[in-house]
Amino acid sequence: MNNLSACTDDELVCRYADGNNEAFDVLLKRHESKIYSYIYYIIKDRDKADDIFQETFVKAIMTIRQGRYTGNGKFFSWISRIAHNLIIDSYRQEKIENNISNEDETLDIFNRKELSEGNIEDHIIQSQINSDIRRLVEALPDNQREVVKLRYYKNLSFKEIADVTNVSINTALGRMRYAILNIRRMAEQYNIVLTL
């Protein structure tokens, strides 16, 4: 780990992309304080900030693993942009949730997606995808399956998951990262399409 500390961000990204998980740990330690402070400064809610912080690094992990990182020596700017976009998404989601009312539902009853005939096929496909994902989740190692279920089925934050499973937030994040990688690997192996 000592020799990794001397590496530039881009060198660490390359090493992580080549399978050296410690390289990402160094990147995380190097930038976690600034990224978290930035998120919390805007969000002003610890739980939401924790969630966005974790999602930022999960997204970074997935992008790097897929070979799509193009930071060109600007890892911090790149990861900050991911965090910024997730903050905006969070605000948009809140706005959508706050604008929904029963009156809108009655006025728009004939335009609702779930009632239109053209979406029966989409509904069947989505149902199959959900079934495939549940099977893939069940095939994960116990500790990875537990984190996925707590995060996506119980909607717990990574801090809550860490508390429930008696591990650090970084360990919970790592388990989620490996769960996602394993799900994708199994999906490719069995030719399962995970999107509509």
Decide which of 102 and 157 is more confident: 157
110 falls within a domain: no
pLDDT-derived band at 52, boundaries 50, 70, 90: very high
pLDDT-derived band at 115, boundaries 50, 70, 90: very low
Counting residues of the chain whose pLDDT is more than 90, the rounded percentage is: 11
Cβ neighbours of residue 144 under 8 Å, at least 6 residues apart?
Answer: 175, 176, 178, 179, 182
pLDDT at 130: 74
**Residue at token pair 């905006």:** 88
Q: What is the mean pLDDT of residues 64-88?
A: 85
- If asked whether residues 73 and 131 sit together in one domain, one would say no
pLDDT at 26: 92
CA–CA gap between residue 35 and residue 171 (Å, rounded): 18
- If asked whether residues 80 and 135 sit together in one domain, one would say no
Q: What is the DSSP secondary structure assignment for residue 153, as one 8-state letter?
A: I
- If asked whether residues 92 and 124 sit together in one domain, one would say no
Tokens read off for 43: 């969000």
- If asked whether residues 61 and 16 sit together in one domain, one would say yes
Tokens read off for 99: 């604008």
- If asked whether residues 130 and 83 sit together in one domain, one would say no
Predicted model pTM? 0.51
pLDDT surpassing 50 at residue 110: no
Q: How many domains does the chain have?
A: 2
By residue range, what is the domain housing residue 127? 120-189
pLDDT-derived band at 87, boundaries 50, 70, 90: confident
115 falls within a domain: no
- If asked whether residues 71 and 130 sit together in one domain, one would say no
CA–CA gap between residue 130 and residue 174 (Å, rounded): 24
CATH code (residue 85): 1.10.1740.10
**CB of 170 within 8 A of CB of 27?**
no
- If asked whether residues 164 and 129 sit together in one domain, one would say yes
CATH code (residue 136): 1.10.10.10
